[in-house]
Amino acid sequence: MRRIGIWIALGGLLIGTAACGGGSGGGGGTAKAESLAVGFVAEPANLDFTSTEGAAIPQALLVNVYEGLVKLGQDGTVQPLLAEKWEVSPDRKTYTFTLRPNVTFTSGAPFTADDVVFSLGRVTSDWKLKIKSQFDVVDKVEKKDDTTAVVTLKRPSNGFLYALATRLGAMFSRTGVADLANKPVGTGPYQLAAWKRGDSIRLDANPKYWGTKPALPAVTLKYFKDATAMNNALLTGGIDVISNVQAPESLQQFADPNRFQTVEGTTNGEVVLSMNNGRAPFDDKKVRQAVRHAIDHKALLDTAWAGRGQPIGSMVSPTDPWYEDRTGDYPYDVAKAKALLGGKTYTVKMRIPNLPYAVASAQVVKSQLAQVGITADIEPLEFPARWLDVVFKQADYDLSIINHIEPRDMRIFADKSYYFRYDNPEFGKLLASADEGTEQQQTDELKKAAKLLSDDAAADWLFLFPNLIVAEKGVTGLPKNAISESFDFTGLAKQ
C-alpha cells in the first residue's frame, strides 16, 4: 500500500513518525495512494465547533465532514456548495437559496430545507461561541419547499453571506446532533472513522457523497508538537508533505528541487500581540502605544520566523478590499516608547500558547520590551485547553500572542467581553455602518475602523502568518493560500 504522509502545523485561535490511515488495502499492482496522514500541532479537545473555541475543529471538519450552503474559494470569494444558487431581493434583506437535490447525510438521512431551518436556527439557540452574534442580523429562516430555503434579515448585511461560508453556516442533520463532541454527522466528502485521543483522527471517504469523490479513500490527522521530528520524517521519506512549516529556518534542508517543492502563500492569520485593555498597565492607552513603538517588527519576523510572513500593522489581511498598510502608524522608536511610559517601569505576565510561532515571537518581544522598561515574564500554557481557559475565557493575562485565523475577524474587538477587553463604542458604530451600507461604504468604514484600532493601540499585530508548505515532488492539489477556516483534503493527490 502506498502511503502519503502530510503534516499540517496549525495552531490558531488553534510526533515523531507518520501514521498510516485506514485505507482498504488489497488490489496488488495499483499505484494509487490509499491513505493520507495529516499532522497538526494541537489536537481538538472535542469535535463540537458549536460549543468549543479554537481553530483545530473547523480546520479538520469544515468542508471535509460538514458542508455549508456556500464556501470560500482560494481567492476569498463566496462560492456555491450545498446551495446551487441564491438570489438576493432588491432591498438586500431576503436570500433565497436553491439547494442541491439528492444530497444525504452520512447517517443516510436526506438533506432538505428543513435542515437549513434547523441548522441556522441552532446558531442563536444552541451555539456557545461568541461568533454566533454575527447571526443576530437574521430575522427568520423558512422552508419554501424541500429544495428551497429563504433567509430574511432584519436589515441589509454585507457580512451575512461571508459569515455563512464559515463554521456558522455548517449544515447539521436534525437527527445527528446528539453527540457532536464525538460523532459528527455531515454531508461532506469524508466521515469520521476513528478517533484515538492523544494521537490521531481518521476520516474515511463518504461512499454516498453527492459531489466529486476525493482522490484518497482515507485521511489520518496525526497530532504532534516536535518540528524537528516532522522535518526528519520528510527527509527520510516517512511523510510526503509538511504544512504549515513550524521551523521556517529549516527550509534549506529541502532545497533539492529533484526531491522537494515549496509552496508559499498567504493566510488570514494575524499573529496578534494581545494586550489586556481591561486591567493595569494596559488599560492605559499610553502604555499600549509604548509597546507598539517598542516592537521592531522586521527584526522580530527575521528572528522568530526566518523572515517569512508579512508585517501588516492592523487586524485586516491583504486579501480584504479594505486593507491598508498600517505598519507606519507606530514605527520602531525606543525613545518615544520610553517617553510614553514617563519613566515608569512595569512587570507583566505574558501568557502564551505553547506553539512554535508564539514561543519564538515571545522571546523577541520580551527582549525588545526590556529595552523600554517593561519586564515580560513568559508563561507558556498548553494549547488549546489551558490557554483557552486562562487567557481566552478568564482574561487572566497581561500580554499574549496568538494567531487569529478566522477570516474577516476584526469584529471581535467590538465585543468588550472578548479577552482583549477593548471597549470603544465608536468602533462598533463603524462596523455596523459598514455592514449595512453599500460595498464602497463598507470599504470606507472598515478602513476607518482599522485605523481606530491602530490609533487606540488595542493590540499590536506582529505579522501575517504565511501559508508555508514543503512537499515531495509530485504531490498535487496543495493550497497556495489558506483563506478559510478549513483545510480541504479532497484535492490532494500524488502523481
Q: How far is CA 12 from CA 23, 169, 384, 405, in A?
A: 30, 20, 9, 6
Please give the backbone phi and psi of residue 220, each rounded to the nearest 5 degrees, phi first: -110, 125
Answer whether 142's CB lies under 8 Å from 120's CB.
no
Please give the backbone phi and psi of residue 348, each rounded to the nearest 5 degrees, phi first: -130, 160
pLDDT of residue 10: 42
% of the chain at pLDDT higher than 70: 93
Structure confidence by residue, pLDDT tens digits, 243-283: 788 889 989 999 999 999 899 999 999 999 999 999 999 99
Strands of 8-114 (E only): list them.
35-40, 70-72, 78-80, 83-88, 94-99
pTM, full prediction: 0.86
pLDDT (mean) for 298-315: 96
Strands of 13-63 (E only): list them.
35-40
- Identify the structural domains of the chain with CATH numbers, from first to last: 66-169 (3.90.76.10), 190-259+473-494 (3.40.190.10), 267-465 (3.10.105.10)
pLDDT of residue 37: 79
- Check pLDDT > 70 for residue 18: no
Neighbouring C-beta atoms of residue 395, cutoff 10 Å? 18
d(CA 45, CA 54): 10
Structure confidence by residue, pLDDT tens digits, 97-122: 999 999 999 999 999 999 999 999 99
d(CA 326, CA 331): 10
Give the contacts of 252 (CB within 8 A, at least 6 positions apart): none
d(CA 400, CA 283): 15
- Return the exposure string of 25-61: e unless at least 16 CB atoms fall within 10 Å of the residue's CB, then b: eeeeeeeebbbbbbbbbbbbbbbbbbebbbbbbbbbb
- Check pLDDT > 50 for residue 422: yes
d(CA 271, CA 203): 30
Average pLDDT, the chain: 90
Give the contacts of 297 (CB within 8 A, at least 6 positions apart): 311, 313, 327, 332, 462, 463
Instruction: Name the helix (H) or strand (E) containing 471.
Output: strand 467-472
d(CA 477, CA 469): 12
- Residue-level length of the chain: 495
% of the chain at pLDDT higher than 90: 74
Structure confidence by residue, pLDDT tens digits, 366-414: 999 999 999 999 999 998 889 999 999 999 999 999 999 888 999 999 9
Asked if residue 380 has a cis previous peptide bond (ω within 30° of 0), the answer is: no
Q: How far is CA 328 from CA 289, 296, 333, 337, 367, in A?
A: 13, 12, 11, 15, 22
Q: Helical H runs in 182-274?
A: 227-235
pLDDT of residue 23: 34
Least confident of 108-112, 304-308, 356-360, 475-479: 475-479
pLDDT of residue 17: 26
Three-state secondary structure call for residue 462: strand
pLDDT of residue 200: 87
Please give the single-letter amino acid code of residue 78: V
Q: How far is CA 130 from CA 61, 70, 117, 385, 392, in A?
A: 20, 21, 21, 17, 11
d(CA 99, CA 95): 12
Answer whether 5's CB lies under 8 Å from 18's CB.
yes
- Residue 130: which of 338, 370, 317, 393 has the closest Cα? 393
Structure confidence by residue, pLDDT tens digits, 179-234: 999 999 999 999 999 999 988 899 999 999 999 999 888 888 888 778 887 788 88
C-alpha cell at 225: 508538537
